[in-house]
Amino acid sequence: MLIPVVRIYKNGVDYYLKEIFINPRNIVYMSEEVSFKRNLLEGKINLGLHPGTEFTRAKINMGDYLEDIILVGNPKTIEGKFYRVKKLLRD
């Protein structure tokens, strides 16, 4: 089951958002990402995000390597999306 999440990318000094779909089984690690939060509060991320927006660093198992990505939302919110889908599948 693939879950939609919003990924934030940094390209030089510019940031952009993209909806991606993740298989929750491939998530190895998640933690709060404070540097993106700081950049948002300092006005370096100009994407119209609310100042209270939080970010999560996730490591995704891509088979033969781990990819480090930044997601919009705090770790509990991201985990909750995955849990809700698992619960719906069981019901």
Report which of 85, 77, 65 is spatially closest to residue 30, judged by C-alpha positions: 77
Q: Give every CB contact of residue 75 below 8 A, 6+ residues apart in sequence.
A: 30, 31, 32, 56
Mean pLDDT along residues 21-37: 95
Instruction: Identify the helix (H) or strand (E) that includes residue 83.
Output: helix 75-90
Task: Give the predicted TM-score (pTM) of the model.
Answer: 0.86
Alpha helix positions (H), 18-74: 34-41
Residues 6+ apart with CB under 8 A from 5: 19, 20, 21, 22, 71, 72, 73, 78, 81
Give the tokens for residue 68: 């480090």
Q: What value does the mean pLDDT of the chain take?
A: 91
* 57-82 tens-digit pLDDT: 999 999 999 999 999 999 999 998 87
Q: Identify the pLDDT of residue 82.
A: 79
Residue 1: pLDDT band (50, 70, 90) is confident
Residues contacting residue 80 through CB under 8 Å, at least 6 positions apart: none
